[in-house]
Amino acid sequence: MKMKAVVVTVLLAAALSYYIYTPLPDGIQEPFKLMVVDASFRTAINLAALKYWLGLDHYITSFRQTLEGFDSTISALLGSTSPAGVVPGVKVSDITFAGVPVRVYEPPAGGEGHLRRGLMYFHGGGWAFGSGKMGAYNKMTQMISDELNTVVVSVEYRLFPEVHFPEPFLDCLSAAKHFLSPEVLAKYSIDPERVAVSGDSAGGNLAAAVAQEISTDDSVSVKFSVQALIYPALQALDFNTPSYVQNDNMAILPRRVMVQFWLQYLGADISLQPQVIANNHSALQHSPLTPELRSRLDWTSLLAQRFKKSFKPVVVERESQGLLKKVPAFLDVRSAPLLAGAEVLAKCPRAYILTCEYDVLRDDGLMYARRLQDAGVSVSSDYYENGFHGCLSFTSWPLGFDVGKRALRGYINWLQENL
């Protein structure tokens, strides 16, 4: 009987090890920890898909609930279950800006007439899940508020499946215009010349799009002075850039998952996933994607050789479905800020762009940095050779990564010096 128990235990341990194991690049530090994080995500996704198949719940809603439960558990372990439980002295308020839910973080009041920095933050999560109220974001925004004497506004924009593009963008734009109004800036004692917009991943997409819109809107008197983008998603026309191909099956965010996020966000049929992974939606023949537009995301000219390596562009001659005409949002600069013209980019605020080697979105950020610089915008870039997508959200025990801690510190230091 005892021998049977030993055999069963060994088999279960072997099965668990097999499930957790994910091939990772040699450059990844703390690989086992990343495997555990990735296995946890895969488990949550698989359970959500099963519930959806059984007709119990939408898979995104189910996945959200699992993430929120996991986040609550970690917060309880860290003893920071309340919004104000991370940094003493920072005032936290849940209100609305132009009807959009936001969480406002206010540092301790300064002296008479003392003006503070302002920062609007859009969280990541594939336009489908996540919240600025979750542990990692809540901790980061409180740190920024406290260390940099900054009023931080974290925006709770609407998500898929409740809405899709352009609603999340419009939520963020409405909140941004409200924040930048002279009355609101005065209410929070914010210096109108020191206001930033920032975000990570899908939130980086929204931050870049909002920065462009605000920069070219003459009705907005106060503009953002800086934009800080963390591994942003900036285009959905080429899913065969070197970083997409190199990190095809990378932990946390493999290519197929990022493509699914894009299709969901743009209101397209998920069954198109194989077509767009093959770049069939951006074929040459009979395409509204003109040569001039193509040049705006041509990685063969926008990336340095060390990122291009030996990869070859994937350009399809023809496709029969007319996907760009069926899903025109692929070409909308509000969803794909990398497609903006040079005349728009030239008006944008100076930028900080953080990218990671092991991230499908690496080249989006690198190409945007190059295009902004070519348009005359000052750009600071932080590139982490051993970084992976989402690393900035993993800075605390038990899932803290050294690269995440360094990336977070680099981001905050840049804001300290440039905002």
Question: Would you say 319 and 213 are in contact if contact means Cβ atoms under 8 Å apart?
Answer: no
Q: Residue 410, Cα to own-chain centre: how many angstroms?
A: 17
271 a catalytic residue: no
Q: Which of the residues 164, 178, 281, 389 is marked catalytic?
A: 389
User: C-alpha distances in angstroms, 187 versus 10, 116, 150, 181, 183?
Assistant: 63, 11, 14, 10, 6
Tell me how far apart the alpha carbons of residues 264 and 249 are, in angstroms, rounded to a whole number: 20
Segments in 266-401 forming alpha helices (H): 273-277, 291-295, 299-302, 305-308, 323-326, 342-345, 362-374
Nearest to 377 by CA among 398, 351, 338: 351
Q: Which two tokens stand for residue 215?
A: 């920069």
Tell me how far apart the alpha carbons of residues 276 and 264 are, in angstroms, rounded to a whole number: 13
CA torsion angle 249 336 272 265 (round to 10)? 90
Tell me how far apart the alpha carbons of residues 344 and 333 are, in angstroms, rounded to a whole number: 10
Nearest to 404 by CA among 34, 62, 20, 18: 34
Tell me how far apart the alpha carbons of residues 276 and 10 are, in angstroms, rounded to a whole number: 43
What is residue 379's three-state secondary structure?
strand
Residue linked to tokens 């944008």 = 348
* Residues belonging to the chain: 419
58 a catalytic residue: no
- For the stretch 268-271, contacts whose Cβ atoms lie closer than 8 Å and that sit 24 or more positions apart, written own/partner, are 268/326, 268/327, 268/329
CA torsion angle 32 38 43 45 (round to 10)? 180
Q: Which of the residues 75, 80, 154, 201 is marked catalytic?
A: 201
- For the stretch 83-87, contacts whose Cβ atoms lie closer than 8 Å and that sit 24 or more positions apart, written own/partner, are 83/133, 83/138, 86/138, 86/139, 86/142, 86/143, 87/142, 87/143, 87/145, 87/146
Q: Which of the residues 38, 71, 238, 359 is marked catalytic?
A: 359
359 a catalytic residue: yes
Which residues are annotated as catalytic? 201, 359, 389
